Structures are given as C-alpha cells and as structure tokens.
Amino acid sequence: MSDGFLVARRRWRVVSAALPGLPQLLTGRWGTGWTVLLTWLGCLWVLTARYERVIGALGGAWDQSLALVTLVVSLIVAWTWSWRDVSGSDRPLGIGVSQWDLAARAFSKNHTAVAGLIVIIALYLVALLTPLLAPYDPAFQGNLITERYVGLSTVHPLGTDNYARDVLSRLLYGARISLAIGFVAVSISVTIGTLLGAVAGFMGGIVDGLIMRFVDIVISFPRLVLLITIIGLFGSSIFMIVAVLGLTLWPGTARIVRGEVLSLREREFIQAATVLGYSKRRIILRHLIPNALGPVIVAATLGIGNTIVLEAGLSFLGLGVQPPTPSWGTMVAVGRDDLLGAWWLSTFPGLAIVFTVLAFNLVGDGLRDALDPRLRT
C-alpha cells in the first residue's frame, strides 16, 4: 500500500472517530452515511437529554434494560462500523465476492429502497428505545378537565387524547407493539413455511402430497373468522394475535420455497451433493434452503408490512390489542369519533402505519430487484 493511501486512511479514521458516518457522507455514500450518523447522534442525544432515565434504567424493568442495551450496542456498532469502513478490508479486491455481496451492491444503488431501509432501522431503534425516549408513560392520564384534547404544544408535541394521555408517548409505545407483532409473526411463519416447503419439494411423492394438502387446508381457512373465533374463545392478547398470525401466514412461504426447491432439486449441484454422500437433512438445510432464500426474504419483508396492516385493522375493530395498551390501530379507532375536533388523534397513528408499511414495501421491492436470479451468473 502506498504512503498516500495510508495518510488518507489515517485522516479518514480521525474524521470517523470524531463523527462516525461523516466520512461516508463526504465521499457520497449517503445511505450508509445517514444511517450511521443519525444513529450516532440520536443515541448520543438520548444519552444526554434523558440522562436520569438512562441511569434509572440500570436494574429497571426488562424493557428499560433492553432499551439501555440497545442504546449502548447502537453506539458501539455505529462507531466501529464507520471505523472499519474507512479502514477498508485487507481482502484483495474482487476476491470472494458472494452472491449476497452482489445483491447488497445492487440494493445499495436503489435509492428509494435504501431510504425505506433507513426508515425501518430508525423505526426499530425508536421502538426499542421507547422507554428512554417517550416523554410520558403511555397510560398516564393528565388532568381530565384541563388537559383533554390539548392540541400540538411543547408540553405535548402531538397533543393529548380523550383521556388526557400524551399522543406522542402512545405513538412510540404503539410502534413497539406493531413492529414486534409484525416481526415475530413473520419470523414464525417464515421458519415453518421454509422448512415445510423445502421438505415437501425435496422429498416429493407422498410427503409432498400430505404437506401441500395441509397447506391448502390452512389457506382455505378464512383467517379473519379464525382470528375472531380464537379471540372470542380465549380472549384477546398480544400473544394470541402473534400466534394466530404466525400460524396462518406460513402457507405462502411454503409454496414459494417448494417451487424454488423443485427447480433447484434438478440442478446438478444438488445431485453432486447426493453423490458426495451428504444426508438428506444436510442437503435440505445447507444446500437447498440457502439457495431458495432470495424470494423468501422478499416475501418476509412484504409480509411484515402486511401483518402490521392486519394487526392495525384488528385493533381498529377492537379485536386486537386491548386498551389501555397503545397500538396504532386502536389509536386510530379512538380518534375516529373526534376527527373534526381533534384531528391529531387519528392522523399521527394513521401516518405512522402508512409510512411503516410503505417503507417495508419499498425495501421489499428493492430486495426483489436485487435478488433477481436473472442477475446471477
């Protein structure tokens, strides 16, 4: 390496150490730059502005501890990411570029998708940091006579609702519920769907027939009716909603994976794996599933968006998350009666739903393009 390169690297390292993300922004890589910079500044702001709560979170409730861990980890990750990024890798250029690397490169050129990804990262960070961020407790009621329906103000940035609760705080806590439900439900359904789809596609014959008929049965169940029945029987809890959504959404993934596996199975590298004496388990888990993962990731990303809308719809109808636990759907429902007098009640949770789902869809579409098998060689 030349001296010039080393000097330049030292200089960028200094910049990076002072303000992570800045070197990337200055060299025109705004996606990475903004993500790192905003994470760094945001977390520093929380650390200073909410100092007492950060201290109080030590040994606090589990969500406070989680927020504290998130805060520390984000700071460390943002800083080291930027540092390692400007340091460059010791790996020679062009060696060991995997298909995932190629997909990541294609994705990073898609600006709308990158913007969506930044929004999603920000949303999850905010959701995790909520106990440190939110100005009030979501269930805290102010003076019911003087503090109901207060408009936007410095004390209540997004106003208060019919019970004199702070809308911003409820919105933040609601983000936790919506994002968690979307993420967990989709994780469950993707895991089940991928495994069953891969087994069905690889084994074929009777196993395939049984699994796919089971898929048909699950798909033909009207999901809403099933949800209402189960909630009617067992009462509504977040756990129930996640379980029902997770256990009914997997057939889509199973079909996608089965289709992929059916075509992969005929490829020579799967034959080669058999010739090398690998077990069926190893072939399915290590050779088939990683190759079928592209469409699954796309479906999962879009699925999180859909699940969030579904949950909001259920909560709007009063079937989902029960008050006083805040959820975006419930908040929209509550504000519906006061739409003319207190527009902020429904508007902000509504916008939150729209932007979140939009972000997931943008990222999903970007991933679909980036993982397009036609780009592979």
Q: Which residues of the chain form contacts with another protein (CB under 8 A)?
A: 91-92, 94-100, 267-269, 271-279, 282, 286-287, 290-291, 376-377
* Cα–Cα distance list, 73 to 69, 84, 123 (Å): 6, 16, 16
Q: How far is the CB of 209 from another protein (least distance, A)?
A: 15
Asked if 6 and 31 touch (Cβ cutoff 8 Å), the reply is no
Q: How far is the CB of 367 from another protein (least distance, A)?
A: 16
Q: Which is nearer to another protein, 197 or 251 (CB)?
A: 197
Q: How far is the CB of 91 from another protein (least distance, A)?
A: 8
Q: How far is the CB of 290 from another protein (least distance, A)?
A: 5
Q: Report which of 23, 129, 114 is spatially closest to residue 75, judged by C-alpha positions.
A: 129
Q: How far is the CB of 207 from another protein (least distance, A)?
A: 14
The C-alpha atoms of residue 259 and residue 328 are separated, in whole angstroms, by 36
196 residue type, one letter: L
* Cα–Cα distance list, 194 to 204, 241, 252 (Å): 15, 21, 10
Q: Report which of 10, 31, 33, 29 is spatially closest to residue 20, judged by C-alpha positions.
A: 33
Q: How far is the CB of 216 from another protein (least distance, A)?
A: 25
H or E segment and range at residue 174: helix 167-203
Tokens of 118: 């930044």
Q: Which is nearer to another protein, 69 or 97 (CB)?
A: 97
β-sheet bridge partners, residue 170: none
Q: Which is nearer to another protein, 95 or 225 (CB)?
A: 95
Q: Which is nearer to another protein, 91 or 374 (CB)?
A: 91
Beta strands in the chain (DSSP E): none
Q: Which is nearer to another protein, 43 or 257 (CB)?
A: 257
Q: Which is nearer to another protein, 103 or 190 (CB)?
A: 103
